[in-house]
């Protein structure tokens, strides 16, 4: 009886641990299913005919129709929308990375009057949704004659993404040892030299994280292109999906092909930079 009573607390703790782990795994499994199933369904549907999409929605197509992608690329103009999105996302991400890393370095390492006030002023931008400033932003872009142009979309995207980028890069630069900067200044480096030759090479993980966030934000952005772009030749992938759905109501096979085309770039980027992304999140983005 004593041995049984003595073993009881250990067995109870082991049972609680197993239940806790089982619950955690179940929750994670449900989250994975919720996240992955829509992607798999879109991919399978993009390889079927319109009839098969409704008659056999979850079946694997026996004869995949790869021609749906070629037809969506040409007839649905998703090829044109794809390159428009690239033409906007690449300079938008490049400007965001450069400006955010430079400003983050300044706020983390340099001391100048009003630095804390200016930093908090930038952070206010994280709390203000784009919808709230859309009307004055539209008239500003219109007065600059940038409607239906690439800069008319790129510049607002950079401005809306910089507050988060500055916050993240500042947090990362504050984790780096001061001795690195001191040694560089002893060797004659200016502030920009310290940023370029010391801090920037060490920030690959944080920059990869910011790169993925900035690219996803620009690539998936719907509101800014929707307001500032009216010409069909300038539309991006999200706008193309919207107008394609309105013009070709019954062509679901091409619509699903366009959806798959739209998420391929972000998926490829995450696979390529997954290690740097996780490292940047766990080291630079949550400390400081």
Residues 40 and 167 in one domain: no
**277 backbone dihedrals φ, ψ, rounded to 5°:** -65, -50
Kindly report, residue by residue over 192-241, the tens digit of the pLDDT. 899 998 898 888 888 988 999 999 999 999 999 999 999 989 999 999 98
CATH code of residue 114: 1.10.3720.10
Residues 225 and 115 in one domain: yes
Kindly report, residue by residue over 32-44, the tens digit of the pLDDT. 889 888 889 999 9
Distance CA(213)–CA(93), nearest Å, equals 9
| Residue 286 confidence class, pLDDT cut points 50, 70, 90 | very low
CA atoms within a 13 Å half-sphere pointing along the CA-CB vector of 35? 6
Q: What is the pTM of this model?
A: 0.83
Helices (DSSP H) in 128-149: which residue ranges? 134-143
Residues 23 and 89 in one domain: no
Residues 8 and 116 in one domain: no
60 located within any domain: no
**Mean pLDDT of the 69-79 span:** 91
Residues 195 and 239 in one domain: yes
Selection from 249, 229, 250 nearest residue 239 by Cα: 229
163 located within any domain: yes
| Residue 145 confidence class, pLDDT cut points 50, 70, 90 | very high
**Mean pLDDT of the 73-99 span:** 94
195 located within any domain: yes
Residues 186 and 93 in one domain: yes
Residues 184 and 82 in one domain: yes
| Residue 274 confidence class, pLDDT cut points 50, 70, 90 | confident
Burial 175-205 (b: 16+ CB within 10 A, else e): ebeeeebeebeeeebeeeebbeebbeebbeb
51 located within any domain: no
Residues 33 and 72 in one domain: no
The tally of domains found in the chain comes to 2
Secondary structure percentages of the chain, helix, strand, coil, to 5: 80, 0, 20
Q: Choose between 98 and 18: higher pLDDT.
A: 98
Would you say residue 285 has pLDDT above 80? Answer: no
**Mean pLDDT of the 51-67 span:** 88
H or E element: which one contains 155? Answer: helix 150-173
55 located within any domain: no
Kindly report, residue by residue over 117-140, the tens digit of the pLDDT. 999 988 888 888 888 899 999 999
**72 backbone dihedrals φ, ψ, rounded to 5°:** -65, -40
Q: For residue 239, what pLDDT is reported?
A: 92
58 located within any domain: no
Residues 73 and 37 in one domain: no
Residues 165 and 250 in one domain: yes
Selection from 256, 268, 267, 209 nearest residue 76 by Cα: 256
196 located within any domain: yes
**Mean pLDDT of the 9-24 span:** 79
Residues 9 and 138 in one domain: no
56 located within any domain: no
Residues 24 and 160 in one domain: no
Q: For residue 1, what pLDDT is reported?
A: 47
Domain span at residue 30? 2-45
């Amino acid at each position: 009886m004593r041995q049984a009573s003595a073993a009881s607390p250990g067995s109870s703790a082991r049972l609680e641990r197993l239940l806790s782990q089982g619950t955690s795994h179940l929750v994670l499994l449900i989250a994975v299913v919720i996240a992955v199933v829509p992607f798999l369904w879109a991919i399978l549907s993009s390889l079927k005919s319109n009839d098969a999409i409704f008659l056999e929605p979850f079946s694997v197509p026996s004869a995949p129709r790869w021609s749906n992608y070629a037809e969506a690329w040409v007839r649905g103009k998703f090829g044109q929308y794809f390159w428009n999105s690239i033409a906007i996302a690449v300079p938008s991400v490049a400007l965001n990375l450069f400006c955010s890393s430079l400003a983050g370095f300044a706020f983390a390492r340099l001391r100048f009057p009003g630095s804390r006030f200016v930093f908090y002023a930038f952070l206010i931008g994280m709390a203000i949704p784009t919808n709230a400033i859309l009307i004055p932003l539209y008239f500003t872009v219109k007065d600059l004659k940038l409607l239906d142009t690439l800069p008319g979309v790129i510049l607002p995207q950079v401005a809306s993404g910089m507050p988060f980028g500055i916050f993240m890069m500042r947090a990362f630069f504050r984790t780096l040892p001061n001795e690195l900067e001191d040694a560089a200044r002893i060797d004659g480096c200016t502030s920009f030299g310290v940023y370029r030759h010391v801090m920037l090479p060490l920030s690959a993980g944080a920059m990869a994280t910011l790169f993925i966030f900035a690219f996803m934000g620009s690539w998936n952005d719907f509101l800014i292109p929707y307001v500032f772009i009216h010409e069909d030749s300038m539309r991006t992938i999200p706008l193309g999906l919207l107008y394609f759905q309105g013009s070709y109501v019954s062509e679901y096979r091409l619509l699903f092909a366009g959806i798959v085309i739209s998420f391929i770039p972000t998926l490829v980027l995450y696979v390529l930079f997954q290690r740097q992304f996780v490292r940047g999140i766990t080291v630079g983005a949550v400390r400081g």
